[in-house]
Structure formats: structure tokens, C-alpha cells
């Protein structure tokens, strides 16, 4: 698997930097954003390093898409937002701040103004509690993704 020693997401994949992980499979890792745009802001990344949509291989792209849907369903079950913003940015001019392919899943409540990125660090304990709720939804017997 290709990695970049200067990439913060590669360091998370390598367990050199901690994260509040909510889901992992052979190709993807999902964890809570430490600067959440809203409660439940989750990132889904390819484990292999690809800078952007223009660089990612097809198998990794499909794996991120499948994991994103799985996470979106769990976030819906756990937090019951009115909607979800799913975003992916390519290049600094488009708002990409970490140059490792990833998707943002941002739960949104009716009337809530939510940006694409959070501006300030979230409260670590509150983020952990939300991660617990999402993990529980993934593991629930009613979840079609519980066995994964």
C-alpha cells in the first residue's frame, strides 16, 4: 500500500497519530473530524495514499464510496439528522486541506448553517461520545452492515 510519510492521514492509517475510529476495512478507514462542521462530522479515507480524485485508483474509489454509504446509514440511525452533506474537495482552490483522498459526511439539522469544514477544534469527549453512537449503529442487529 502506498503511503506518504508527510501525510497526516497516512500517519493515522499507520497508527502513528490517534483518531476516534468508527469503521475500518481492508481499503478504508473512517474516523471523526477533530474540527467538526457539525455533530457527527465523519471522514472516510482510502488507506492507500492518493492526493485527490484525479489520482485514486478505481478499486479504492469504489471502496470509499461503499464505506461512505455504510457510514451515512449509521450516522442517520445514530443521530437522526434531517439531512447529510457529503463532500469531497480536489486542490487547495476547491477547499482541500489534507491532500489524501477522503470524503466528509456532515449531518445537518433543518435550519442549521453548516460549512464544509469546521473552524475550531471540537470537544474530544463529545466527539468520542458521538463516535460511540455511530459504532453502536454499525453493530446493531438491525443494521444491514452489522456483519461487516
Alpha-carbon distance of 139 to 45, in angstroms, equals 20
Residue 1: inside a domain, yes or no?
Answer: no
Residue 32: inside a domain, yes or no?
Answer: yes
Is 117 marked active-site? no
Residue 27: inside a domain, yes or no?
Answer: yes
Total domains, the chain: 1
Residue 147: inside a domain, yes or no?
Answer: no
Contacts 24+ apart (CB under 8 A), 17-21: 20/127, 20/128, 20/131, 21/131
Residue 105: inside a domain, yes or no?
Answer: yes
Bigger pLDDT: 27 vs 114: 27
Per-residue model confidence as pLDDT tens digits over 37-77: 999 999 999 999 999 999 999 999 999 999 999 999 999 99
pLDDT at 92: 95
Residue 2: inside a domain, yes or no?
Answer: no
pTM of the model: 0.92
Q: Which member of 41, 49, 100, 102 is catalytic?
A: 102
Q: In CATH, what number is assigned to the domain containing residue 12?
A: 3.30.428.10
For 31, the domain range is: 8-138
The pLDDT-based confidence of 2 (bands split at 50, 70, 90) is confident
Alpha-carbon distance of 113 to 44, in angstroms, equals 22
Amino acid at each position: 500500500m502506498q503511503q506518504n510519510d508527510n501525510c497526516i492521514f497516512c500517519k493515522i492509517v499507520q497508527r502513528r497519530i490517534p483518531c476516534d475510529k468508527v469503521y475500518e476495512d481492508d481499503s478504508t478507514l473512517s474516523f471523526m473530524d477533530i474540527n467538526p462542521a457539525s455533530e457527527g462530522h465523519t471522514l472516510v479515507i482510502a488507506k492507500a495514499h492518493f492526493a485527490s480524485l484525479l489520482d485514486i485508483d478505481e478499486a479504492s474509489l469504489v471502496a470509499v464510496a461503499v464505506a461512505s454509504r455504510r457510514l451515512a446509514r449509521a450516522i442517520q440511525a445514530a443521530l437522526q439528522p434531517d439531512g447529510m452533506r457529503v463532500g469531497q474537495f480536489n486542490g487547495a482552490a476547491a477547499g482541500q486541506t489534507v491532500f489524501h483522498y477522503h470524503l466528509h459526511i456532515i449531518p445537518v439539522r433543518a435550519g442549521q448553517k453548516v460549512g464544509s469544514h469546521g473552524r475550531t477544534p471540537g470537544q474530544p469527549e463529545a466527539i468520542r461520545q458521538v463516535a460511540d453512537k455511530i459504532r453502536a449503529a454499525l453493530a446493531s442487529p438491525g443494521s444491514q452492515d452489522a456483519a461487516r
